[in-house]
Amino acid sequence: MAADTLTTLMKLAAKRFGADLSQLRPEDDLFERLGIDSFQAVELISDLENEFDIELPDYELQGVKTFESLAQKIDKRR
């Protein structure tokens, strides 16, 4: 996994949801750490698709819960 993908993902998530970037870890559960629901996760996915110029199909994101696993999915599409 590209470190820049993970870093960009975590920065975008922190900015969108007002989280402290220094408190986020790659292995954190996105939903728990950010305090978001599935609708808010879709907003984050939209931000990521725009940032990385990719499309992340829903079926590929099932079971993705951590920043690290989401970054891996992004890298597969780049």
- Active-site residue, 47 included: no
Closest CA to 78 of 14, 24, 6, 25: 6
Cβ contact 74:54 at 8 Å: yes
The C-alpha atoms of residue 78 and residue 71 are separated, in whole angstroms, by 11
Catalytic pick among 4, 20, 28, 37:
37
Instruction: Tell me the catalytic residues.
Output: 37
